Structure 1
Amino acid sequence: MKIIDAKVIVCSPGRNFVTLKVMTDEGVYGVGDATLNGRELSVVSYLEDHIIPVLIGKDPQRIEDIWQFLYRGAYWRRGPVGMTALAAVDIALWDIKAKIANLPLYQLLGGRSRDRIMTYTHADGVCIESTLDAVGKAIDAGYQAVRVQSGIPGLASTYGVAKDGRKYEPADADLPSESVWSTHKYLNFMPKLFDAVRSQYGDDIHLLHDVHHRLTPIEAARLGKELEPYHLFWMEDAVVAENQESFRLIREHTTTPLAVGEVFNSIHDCRSLIQEQYIDYIRSTLVHAGGITQMRRLADFASLYHVKTGFHGATDLSPVCMGAAMHFDYWVPNFGIQEHMPYTREMESVFSFDYKFERGFFTPGESAGHGVDIDESLAKKYPYKRAMLPVNRLEDGTLWNW
């Protein structure tokens, strides 16, 4: 069997998705996700100019060799663009291999380790009262875990909170919009928010929170310590993680579990975080961290240090990535939780999938491969529309981490 062609499909059914389709001479094809939020066309160029030409003629069943060829063979390795492109190839090749074997993908990984996959959803509001309403709706829908975000008094907007009552979508403008941030106001408000949530809904529901890289280590340590009475499932992305040692200071001051990693591209981005046990959950995604091949290594490494998976799962990942993630979650022994931000009907119309969601839990389908495909003719009806992520400034105008 040989790869005879590959093509990139770009569409925007409510948001931009990049999909790679790899074809073989025996008629079997595989589909991979190549979406990099706000930088989609950079990955398209990398695939079309540098990867697809070297794939032609290769045996698609030699997944490991192709992964090494595209990783080690690129002198300029790693980085979000290159690793997203590599992940798209890897996911497509695993899809092909599972179809050849006529098995669902999770069976090739080693079979399932659980019966269903616990997910968390997002609950947000412009104030405590509306956030409490959103948490209640999530609980009524069957979720056992809820990420809680709220507007902050004195700030016009903040991460995770939609302005118009619809689902939050950060890539909201042709050019980056600007928002204003105050760490002081945020830190004073968060304990009040989680006190209200626990007071109204009790201790049984799992609560999560995303800081979105906006604190210094000592500020994050303060927040984690002040949130300890509300026993969060995790506090996510407390600080930027280029300096992995930053998490040591947080860990020394709080028992609130820590999660990080959705922007990581390689095992090297989190090696110290895991080995020194600074974190509890690794959130790297299949599509941004080199595909199934590398994430298997990362998850196995994490398991040695009691670190569990907690895959990013917002709508900046297409149903292709979500479908592959379901199979990975079904298999991985040190599974923690899966993020779930529901797609719109418009998004789902372009993709077919057989994974199932019911009252807070996912199960992958039993069809061969990862079970997700794209309708190319319908995708053409939704042309690419540039959409960039916002930037953040402090109240004095200083550029800050968004």
Structure 2
Amino acid sequence: MKITDVKVFVTNPGRNFVTVKVITEDGTYGLGDATLNGREMAVHTYIEEHVKPCLIGRDAHCIEDIWQYLYMGVYWRRGPITMAAIAAIDMALWDIKGKVAGLPVYQLLGGKCRQGVRLYAHANGETIEDTLDKAAQCIEQGFDAIRLQAAIPGLKETYGVLGDKKDYFELQGNRPLPPEQEWSTKKYFKLVPELFAQAKARFGDDVEFLHDTHSRLTPIESAKLGKLLEPYDLLFLEDASIAENQENYKLIRHHTTTPLALGETYNTIWDCKDLIQNQWIDYIRTAATHAGGITGMKKIADFAAIYNIRTAPHGAPDLSPICFAAHMHLNISTHNFGIQEFVGFGNEISQTIFKHDMRLENGMIIVSDAPGLGIEFDEVQAEKYTYKRSYLPVSRLEDGTLWHW
């Protein structure tokens, strides 16, 4: 089944998405997500100029061989741009295989391990009370796991809390350059333990809570935070510190029993190898779009299972609904799946472009039984919403020192 064409679409139904369509000789096609937030056009060019010419005429059924060809065959391995391109092609090939077989992708991955995919929702507020009121709304909707983030008093802006801004496009206003935000660990530490103390007092033990530090702390600061949060029994503490030096987490693990989650910026199994095999984390958060697609994610999940580490795929709104669909098929069929981040199915415009029949029920996703990934892409609608250059914010300490965002 020969590949005859590869098309790349960059559309902006509220934020930028890079969508790839792989077409075969009999007209069967598959879809993949290649979105790399803030560097979308780099991936677009990489696929058009370097990947597409290598795929024409290849057998679309040879998923593993094509994955290795695009990974091993370039010499310059890994990296976010290369792996996002590989991811999109890989998802599209799994979509094709499922359509040809007449089966949803999860059946090709071994079938269901559970009836639905457990989700955690986000509650982001301007104050602790506001955050907890939003958590109550999530509970009413059926969620039993919720990430809590509250604005830090004394700072103009806080990660996850955008005020009247709906996304980072609006945050940038009419000046399309990276917005800059201040960070103070001291002010942050005054807020977070109180946030979870009040959450525990208000909601008790029926709901599990999570928190994202977004890599703002040094390892010893993360260790301190983990210990402070132990009484509140978090499901996990996410991205406590940067782990380009993976041994950072050896120090954190030594000081706290709060479960740790990491990996949304990782691109391959090699980025998280030491963290997994040394059991310095409890959840690996790689995303299909950033870590080589379904094939790349399976390699990581199977390796993590040996060390009793669960998957908790990244689910930010800068991953398209195609990536979310790929995650659902992985999650339902992966034995060591833990939980999936969920921020909704996108805005009304996005839902007219990316169409699917996944259902949200009582804080879980019921996965589509349609052949392939079970998602469609409306090219005509997508053309109405053109690319807009955008960046994630930059973080600085209060004295102006550039810091981790």
Given the two structures, how large is their TM-score scaled by the length of structure 2? 0.98
**Whole-angstrom CA distance in 1 between matches of 2:150 and 2:198:** 12
The match for 1:305 among 298, 307, 310 is 307
Could you report, residue by residue, the CA deviation over 1:263-294 in whole angstroms, capped at 9, with x for unpaired residues? 00000000000000000000001110001111
> Secondary structure in 2 aligned to 1:387?
coil
The CA distance in 1 between the partners of 2:285 and 2:233, in whole Å, is 20
Q: Could you say which residue in structure 1 is the equivalent of 2:260?
A: 258
Q: Which moved more, 1:185-194 or 1:170-179?
A: 170-179
Aligned residues: 401
Q: Distance in 1 between matches of 2:367 and 2:348?
A: 19
- Aligned partner of 2:244 in structure 1 is 242
Instruction: Tell me if structure 1 keeps the 8 A contact 2:168–2:392.
Output: no
CA offset digits 1:238-267 (Å, max 9, x no partner)? 001100000011001000000000000000
Q: Is the partner of 2:246 in helix, strand or coil?
A: coil
Determine which of 386, 392, 404 is the counterpart of 1:401.
Answer: 404
Aligned-partner Cα distance in 1 for 2:347–2:376: 17
Q: Deviations over 1:291-322 (max 9, x none)?
A: 11111111010000010000011111101011
Larger mean Cα displacement after TM superposition, 262-271 or 346-355: 346-355
CA distance in 2, matches of 1:51, 1:383: 23
Distance across 1 between alignment mates of 2:367 and 2:41: 30
Unaligned segments of structure 1, at least 5 residues: none
8 Å CA contact retained: 2:113, 2:334 = yes
Match of 1:5 in 2: 5
Specify the code of the residue in structure 1 equivalent to 2:312.
Answer: G
Letter of the 2:388 partner, please give it: K
Partner of 2:92: 92
Distance 2:313 2:396 in 1: 28
In structure 1, the residue matched to 2:395 is 392
Aligned residue type for 2:72: R
Does 2:64 match 1:64? Answer: yes
Q: Quick one: distance in 2 between partners of 1:393 and 1:325? A: 33
Shift of 1:159: 0.3
Identity of aligned residues (%): 55
Preserved contact between residue 161 and residue 168 of structure 1 (Cα < 8 Å): no
2:220 is matched with: 218
- Return the offset for 1:348: 1.1
Instruction: Tell me, yes or no, if the aligned pair for 1:4 and 1:23 is still in contact at 8 Å.
Output: yes
- What amino acid is aligned across from residue 248 of structure 1 in structure 2? K
Please show how residues 94-243 of structure 1 align to structure 2 within 5 Å: 94-164=94-164, 167-169=166-168, 172-173=171-172, 174-243=176-245
Alignment of 1:377 with 2:380, yes or no, is yes
Q: How much does 1:167 deviate?
A: 4.6
C-alpha distance in 2 between matches for 1:3 and 1:237 = 39
Write the mapping of 1:244-393 to structure 2, written as runs, cut at 5 A: 244-342=246-344, 343-393=346-396
Secondary structure at the counterpart of residue 181 of structure 2: strand
Q: How far did residue 42 of structure 1 move? A: 0.6
Query: What is the CA-CA distance between 1:359 and the residue it aligns to?
Result: 2.5
Deviations 1:321-355 (Å, cap 9, x if unpaired)?
11111111000000100000111111111111121
Contact 1:172 1:388 (8 Å CA) reproduced: no
Paired with 1:288 and 1:23, the residues of 2 have a C-alpha distance of: 22
Q: Please, what TM-score do these two structures have when normalized by structure 1? A: 0.98
Q: Which portions of structure 1, spanning 4 or more consecutive aligned residues, are displaced by more than 2 angstroms?
A: 166-173
Instruction: Give me the CA root mean square deviation.
Output: 1.0
Pair 319,142 (structure 1): closer, same or farther in 2 beyond 3 Å: same
Cα distance, 1:188 vs. partner?
A: 2.1
How far residue 170 of structure 1 moved from its aligned partner, in angstroms, is: 7.3
Moved more, 356-365 or 377-386: 356-365
**CA distance, structure 1, for counterparts of residue 38 and residue 351 of structure 2:** 20
Q: 1:88·1:287 contact (CA, 8 Å) conserved in 2?
A: yes
Aligned 8 A contact 2:153 2:187 in 1: yes
After superposition, the Cα gap between the structure-2 partners of 1:114 and 1:359, relative to the gap in structure 1 and judged at 3 Å, is same
CA contact (8 A) 1:235 1:257 kept: yes
Q: In the alignment, residue 148 of structure 2 is paired with which amino acid?
A: V
**5+ residue gaps, structure 2:** none
- Residue 172 of structure 1 and its aligned partner are, at CA, apart by 3.8
Q: Give the residue type in structure 2 aligned to 1:160.
A: G
Kept in 2: contact 1:16–1:35 (CA 8 A): yes
Q: Secondary structure at the match of 1:227?
A: helix
The 2-side partners of 1:317 and 1:351 are apart by: 12
